[in-house]
Structure 1
Amino acid sequence: MTSDRKKSPMSTPGEWAVELHGVTRRYGRGRTAVHALRGIDLTLPPGTFTAVMGPSGSGKSTFLQCAAGLDRPTAGTVRLGGTEITGMKENKLTALRRTRLGFVFQAFNLLPSLTVEQNVALPTRLAGHRPDRRRTAEVLAQVGLADKARRRPGQLSGGQQQRVAIARALVTRPDVVFADEPTGALDTTTAAEILALLRHAVDTERATVVMVTHDPTAASWADRVLFLADGELTTHLDRPTPDQIATRMQTLAAHRADVKAAA
């Protein structure tokens, strides 16, 4: 697996993988209400890799949950692959997540009683379809685990388990893969291998990846890095280096500290 980081093809306006318009998320009411997101407007083309960063409490996790249909915004609209999911009934939303979205989490979230092959095929089974063994074998080969199909997760290293999770996320050829701190539990070398796999999926399969991370090195694999602060998108960097990302994060943290001190 190479770590080729060539720029992904960009779509023309109007062809978006992810659209958020005026998205807000408020928890509670009145003076004690917490405004996790404050009017997010965002469009992401297919075939791109986007990283989302921000200080602790900036709204990163809420952003990902609302964008992926795991949480409903208080106001605004979310569209994935051209389909509006904001008011979608839960059963239809669940079906959409199983067939058109992929998820990669820090904790892997594999079922220990199933084989690697069965874990990868799980989204297809849950959607009520017969697994395509050829497709399952294809994505396992892509992540370098063609010879581990009959193993169980407990027989694999952490990095191998995350590779299984990536294969599971890609098996249905989803509109978007949402990744939440996918390298947070991995060492530096293994993390780079996982990020190379996500980058490869974008560059070769035109997958769309949206990744929340706190790691500037991880974020530097993306085409664009978005920065959240206090529930708002404040700025972005295109194809930045880890040092550029770290500097921007320090600036955001310092600004936030100044605002709190003045309050």
Structure 2
Amino acid sequence: MGLRRRRQTAAAPAPHHAHAIELHGVQRRYGRGRTAVHALRGIDLALPHGSFTAVMGPSGCGKSTFLQCAAGLDRPTAGTVKLGGTEITGMSENTLTALRRARLGFVFQSFNLLPSLTVEQNVLLPMRLAGARPDRHRAHEVLAQVGLEDRARRRPGELSGGQQQRVAIARALVTRPDVVFADEPTGALDTNTAAEVLTLLRQAVDALGATVVMVTHDPVAASHADRVLFLADGAIADRLLRSPAHEIAERMSRLTARTPALAGAWAAEEAR
């Protein structure tokens, strides 16, 4: 089922902030001296509102660190991150936590639904955590958008994997966040169910004006995005505008061929 187009008044971000997310010179180093690991080596990036970006690369290339720094889950060693025009780099942990709860959405490979709560309660959880009054009308609105309006009283254990991921998408959208971060959202799903979930994320961008940043190793998943960023050794090594899966896979193969150390890591990813 496709997402329904929401009312225009609830749609767009503030017009004076052209970008949903900006990273300037972002570096992340773990450890010191000769044993230091440089997970990110100076990321410069600006993503507009209402866009869908896929981030690809083999294990150890910096994908997860990129997502964590961009979402304020980890602090860069150097550089700045802005979300919806707000710089988050120097925020206190309490302020940053409040911002994440109110202005960001998350979709994970493992769904991360609370089994003791109903579907509706899981969807309303971000509002409760942000200290806002739970809006049941809004919860049912987003559940209808993902085709689960008749499952509101069920518990996650009564749903299929694909339905649970739909609930996770509804939960991510319920606060109308600046950015939805998706970390391998189809990794635990079969091919057909994965396609349905990716179509929902695509429609969240096209119909609802959402901004999605998705980490994936799958060229088919990446083919749903407006742009693909290829990370290698902590840096953006290549970019590709919306393309079919075979072109994305070919570009990834060319990138790893230029870097022998990446080739083995990419082969390991593909074998998973």
In the superposition, the TM-score normalised over structure 2's length comes to 0.90
Q: Give the drift of 1:21.
A: 0.1
2:62 aligned residue: 59
1:256 aligned residue: 259
Letter in 2 for 1:44: L
Q: Are residues 1:81 and 2:118 paired?
A: no
Of 127, 130, 141, the residue aligned with 1:138 is 141
Of 198, 203, 208, the residue aligned with 2:206 is 203
After superposition, the Cα gap between the structure-2 partners of 1:259 and 1:235, relative to the gap in structure 1 and judged at 3 Å, is closer
User: For the residues of structure 2 that align with 1:258 and 1:137, how far apart are their CA atoms?
Assistant: 48
Q: Are residues 1:164 and 2:167 paired?
A: yes
Letter in 1 for 2:111: F
User: For the residues of structure 1 that align with 2:65 and 2:20, how far apart are their CA atoms?
Assistant: 19
Q: Are residues 1:49 and 2:52 paired?
A: yes
Deviations 1:11-51 (A, max 9, x none): 99961100000000000000000000000000000000000
SS in 2 for 1:17: strand
The number of equivalent residue pairs is 255
Letter in 2 for 1:79: K
1:18-57 mapped onto 2 (5 Å cutoff) = 18-57=21-60
1:6 aligned residue: none
After superposition, the Cα gap between the structure-2 partners of 1:254 and 1:91, relative to the gap in structure 1 and judged at 3 Å, is same
Letter in 2 for 1:208: T
After superposition, the Cα gap between the structure-2 partners of 1:258 and 1:161, relative to the gap in structure 1 and judged at 3 Å, is closer
Letter in 2 for 1:199: R
1:215 aligned residue: 218
Of 191, 197, 200, the residue aligned with 2:194 is 191
User: For the residues of structure 1 that align with 2:115 and 2:261, how far apart are their CA atoms?
Assistant: 47
Q: Does structure 1 retain, via aligned residues, the 8 Å contact 2:256–2:262?
A: no
2:100 aligned residue: 97
Letter in 1 for 2:113: L
Aligned-pair identity (%):
77
User: For the residues of structure 2 that align with 1:87 and 1:125, how far apart are their CA atoms?
Assistant: 25
Q: Are residues 1:175 and 2:178 paired?
A: yes
Q: Give the drift of 1:185.
A: 0.2
2:266 aligned residue: none
Q: Give the drift of 1:200.
A: 0.6
Question: What RMSD in Å do the two structures reach over aligned CA positions?
Answer: 1.9
In the superposition, the TM-score normalised over structure 1's length comes to 0.93
User: For the residues of structure 2 that align with 1:101 and 1:169, how far apart are their CA atoms?
Assistant: 8
